[in-house]
Amino acid sequence: MRNQYKPGVEAAFLNVQSAATYMGVSVNTLYVWRHRRQGPPSFRMGPGGRVMYRRDLLDAWLSEQQRADSRSNPDLNPLNAAPQPRGRGRAA
């Protein structure tokens, strides 16, 4: 019997297809990120070695991505930085 869970109970582990849907990206994107070691943490589970993702780590990775983006994090927005003094011409 496949993993069947009750409505309202969220799975702690997601396969690639479910993780892609959860994150709003394609399955291919997740595989590319995994290959490049750029995406959220994943692991192989079971005898067949299915690639799985922990939901809590997906949430943490997405939050980290949001904090690292200057459009989402005002502390990183270059328009909020103090102006830098300009130099007085070029040295000869």
Q: What's the length of the chain?
A: 92
Backbone angles phi, psi at 51, to 5 degrees: -75, 130
pLDDT at res. 1: 46
Per-block mean pLDDT, blocks of 10 residues, the chain (92 long): 52 93 96 94 90 95 85 70 74 58
pLDDT at res. 15: 94
pLDDT at res. 86: 81
Tell me the two tokens of residue 49: 């070695």
Residue 3 to residues 21, 29, 42: CA-CA distances in angstroms?
A: 17, 24, 19
List of domains in the chain: 13-74 (1.10.1660)
pLDDT at res. 46: 85
Instruction: Report the predicted TM-score, pTM, of the whole model to 2 decimal places.
Output: 0.66
pLDDT at res. 21: 96
